[in-house]
Structure 1
Amino acid sequence: MTDGTDRPNSPQPGPANASGSGTGSGGYGYPSAPGAGAPGAAGGYGYPQAPAAGGYGFPQPGQPNPYQQEPYGQPDPYGQPEPPFQQEPEPLPGPAFTPAPQPDWQAMAERSDAGRRTKRRLIVIGVAVAACAVAAATTLWFMTGSGGDDPKPGPVAEGSQSPSPSSSEPAWDDPHTVPGQANLLRDRTGSTNIALGPQAEQGAGTKRGEIRFKDNADSYAQGAGQAVDTTKSFSVSARVYTSAKSGTRIAVSQGDGVSYSFELGHDSVNGKNAWVFRVQSGTDGAEATTSQVASDGLKTASAWAMLTGTYDATAKTIKLYVDGKQAGEVPVAGGIWAAPGPIQLGRARQHSIWAGQWAGAMDNVRVWDSALTAAQVGAVKGGKSEVKPTHSWLIS
């Protein structure tokens, strides 16, 4: 700022000329004119001195400049010549790469598949051979049984149930049952079929069907009606097997009232086990009106036997045959009572209750309306009978 008055102006003096002229050494602040003085003389202010020969930082005349690079190929100032540049030779090509041969994967796969197919065929053949061996052993077991001529019945599972009458399951051997009803034994020569009870079963044998019983109240079979007229001559036969060693065991009987008309089976007689054929001549089944014929000294338990009982209405006698041979004969006073009710398998009616439950198996059940002779009974045992039964079940 100013206070509005002009400050005194003191002009600077111009440059002085040392020589009194406009050239020569510069005045204050100005350098000497170039070219003043002799060449090589020190320059004025701001101008460098002329380079003196051999001054600091400049090479001497005739000496090499250490800051100047020598051209490539010139001798090394230290005495080691620089080798000329040589291009490295390209490597020679090596042997051509040959890949390893590859296996024939398709052929290997085909051989592997063929091996697996052969192995499977061998396994199937082995299983088939084993199954045939088992079947053959099973057949042999059924055929040989306990070492005798006839097979034992197969095992019966406890508590198993037979199919209901309406079952559509086919029997193992259709000739022995009614088609579509595996628990209904078909009458082969008549029209009286026999229904199995809940605990009775049809089993499979090697040459025949069997019916099996388990020694209880539900193990029985009952016919659709009577099989024989007991007021006339008749014969009844069955092939039986029992596991019971004592007691009353009835294979075939007829009647469901107060008492049976006849019964064929096993019992203890005079303290000994025996095959028996009994008939009733009274209406109340009393012992006094019972007629019985029994075998003597024959094996009864765990052995198959063909039992045949005959009644001759003219002679009023009954006979018992075991395996085709007569075991005994007794008279019947007054004839046999015609008890009401159908044929029964595996039980008998005694004093208005069911008794004598069978324990074991049976087959080849037949009834004739005549009293067979000894020769005819022997033919039945040998399977050569020419007398046709009126009814028959489970015939081999």
Structure 2
Amino acid sequence: MTDGTDRPNSPQPGPASGGYGYPQPGQSNPYQPAPALQPAQQPGQGFGPPPADETFPPPVPDAFGSASTPDWQAMADATEASRRKRKRLTIGIAALAVVLVAGGASWFVLGGPDGKNDPPPAASSGSPSGSGNPSQSPDKTPEDDSPTVPGEPNLLRDRSGKMGIALGPGASLGELAKRTEVRFKGTADSYAQGAEAAVDVTKSFTVSTRAYNVAETGSRMAVSQGDGVSYSFELGFEVVNGKKAWVFRVQTGDKGQAATAQQVVVDTVDTTRQWALLTGTYDAEKKTIALWVDDKQAGQAQVSGIWAGPGPLQLGRARHHGIWSAAWDGPLDHIRIFDQALGQEQITGLKNNKTGKTKPTHSWLI
């Protein structure tokens, strides 16, 4: 085992902000002098050429120019009628705009953009690495599919039991298009803790999670149980004999010594920056532990039993020699606990998010 000290991690810079746009060419000059009024235009009509639907009397022939007087009253009446027509049209457009704006505001208040009244998203048949989300039944409410306990945004909801998992100050939830994941930063305050022990280690069990590991060195545990002098079990990543490996380890003695720990290790697969389904099983009858990566068994080991140390389920850390260590760096989701040791067919179903009749006793973020 390593000494459990955390390695520093470097936060990634955030995305650069975008710039501002610029005015487009071809805009009119608001300070350009207006053309002079034409004789046929009255004050208040505006500047520029007359509207397309407005006509003027034909010019009077020169031969009769001195003998005829323009009908100024008729021209004024026509101009006033055109002005009233344009005014009614303007008022109508303004009223329509008010109605549209009011309707849009009502939609916004009633929950359009914030999603409160949006239709539920379509059920997903799969998510990265072949794990999908359960279908939503017509009788379900949005709270039924919430990853957290209603009114408790930092408490993961148990989809199969009644045990919530509280997020530590350095852990956070990541909302993606079709799923939610819990994210850890590889620091001492980045963890999540259950209300109690989720696994009875004196009996057969299976613990499983989808894991994305960012760390290249150190000991990094995705799931463990115990808060005394030592863990009872831990599942995650570790450098073993100079090689990066997935590991499932159990403690058989109550002192937390390396000599009383038993483990299964696989160092022949990629362990960083890609999703993997990690599953550890314990068969209490055969007294064997096994580690599965995706749906392939990496190996198994004989044990005398597992020490039932005190303390609840942990995400993102493990208890080593009376201190917290092995801080996980990366996201986790699809966390499940079973009260039996799953076999090949069941774990293949687990990888495809189809557990069939085998129901977990606890599950989070599925």
Give the TM-score taking structure 2 as reference length. Answer: 0.65
| 370 and 114 in structure 1: CA distance in 2 versus 1, 3 angstrom threshold | same
> 1:225 pairs with 193, 196, 200, which one?
196
Q: Is 1:108 aligned to 2:86, yes or no?
A: yes
Give the TM-score taking structure 1 as reference length. Answer: 0.61
Mapped partners of 2:270, 2:93: distance in 1: 60
Which residue is 2:154 aligned to? 183
Contact 1:308 1:320 in 2 (8 A): yes
| 111 and 315 in structure 1: CA distance in 2 versus 1, 3 angstrom threshold | same
Which blocks of at least 5 consecutive residues in structure 2 are unaligned?
1-65, 105-112, 114-121, 133-141
Which residue is 1:269 aligned to? 240
| 383 and 93 in structure 1: CA distance in 2 versus 1, 3 angstrom threshold | closer
Contact 1:238 1:364 in 2 (8 A): yes
Q: Is 1:299 aligned to 2:258, yes or no?
A: no
Note the C-alpha offset of 1:330: 1.4
Which residue is 1:95 aligned to? 69
Matched residue of 1:102: which SS?
helix
Mapped partners of 1:172, 1:220: distance in 2: 24
Note the C-alpha offset of 1:297: 2.0
Q: Is 1:387 aligned to 2:322, yes or no?
A: no
Q: Is 1:376 aligned to 2:318, yes or no?
A: no
| 206 and 291 in structure 1: CA distance in 2 versus 1, 3 angstrom threshold | same
| 173 and 206 in structure 1: CA distance in 2 versus 1, 3 angstrom threshold | farther
Which residue is 1:361 aligned to? 331
Which blocks of at least 5 consecutive residues in structure 1 are unaligned?
1-91, 125-130, 132-138, 152-170
Identity %: 52
Mapped partners of 2:258, 2:245: distance in 1: 18
Superposition RMSD in Å: 3.1
Mapped partners of 1:106, 1:95: distance in 2: 26
Mapped partners of 1:297, 1:208: distance in 2: 29
Mapped partners of 1:240, 1:212: distance in 2: 10
Note the C-alpha offset of 1:113: 6.7
Mapped partners of 1:306, 1:387: distance in 2: 17
Which residue is 1:196 aligned to? 167
Q: Give the letter aligned to residue 365 of structure 2.
A: L
The correspondence of residues 26-175 of structure 1 with structure 2, limited to 5 A, is: 95=69, 97-99=71-73, 100=75, 101-102=78-79, 104-109=82-87, 175=146
Query: Once the two structures are superposed, what CA deviation does each residue of 1:270-299 show, in whole Å capped at 9, x if it has no partner?
Result: 212111101111111111111111223211
Which residue is 1:326 aligned to? 297
Mapped partners of 2:144, 2:190: distance in 1: 21
Which residue is 2:24 aligned to? none
| 196 and 98 in structure 1: CA distance in 2 versus 1, 3 angstrom threshold | same
Mapped partners of 1:98, 1:194: distance in 2: 87
Note the C-alpha offset of 1:207: 2.3
Mapped partners of 1:198, 1:305: distance in 2: 26
Matched residue of 2:349: which SS?
helix
Which residue is 1:341 aligned to? 311
The correspondence of residues 245-284 of structure 1 with structure 2, limited to 5 A, is: 245-284=216-255
Matched residue of 2:259: which SS?
helix
Mapped partners of 2:176, 2:273: distance in 1: 16
Which residue is 2:4 aligned to? none
Note the C-alpha offset of 1:110: 5.2
Note the C-alpha offset of 1:107: 3.1
Contact 1:199 1:218 in 2 (8 A): yes
Contact 1:296 1:327 in 2 (8 A): no
| 172 and 187 in structure 1: CA distance in 2 versus 1, 3 angstrom threshold | closer
Mapped partners of 1:210, 1:173: distance in 2: 17
Note the C-alpha offset of 1:205: 2.1
Mapped partners of 2:348, 2:159: distance in 1: 21
Mapped partners of 1:268, 1:315: distance in 2: 28
Which residue is 2:321 aligned to? 351
Q: Give the letter aligned to residue 259 of structure 1.
A: S
Which residue is 2:213 aligned to? 242
Mapped partners of 1:304, 1:245: distance in 2: 15
Contact 2:213 2:272 in 1 (8 A): yes
Note the C-alpha offset of 1:175: 2.9
Q: Give the letter aligned to residue 95 of structure 1.
A: T
Mapped partners of 1:223, 1:94: distance in 2: 102
Query: Once the two structures are superposed, what CA deviation does each residue of 1:15-44 show, in whole Å capped at 9, x if it has no partner?
Result: xxxxxxxxxxxxxxxxxxxxxxxxxxxxxx
Contact 2:225 2:318 in 1 (8 A): yes
Q: Give the letter aligned to residue 244 of structure 1.
A: A
Matched residue of 1:277: which SS?
strand
Higher-Rg structure is 1
Q: Give the letter aligned to residue 342 of structure 1.
A: P
Mapped partners of 1:237, 1:306: distance in 2: 7
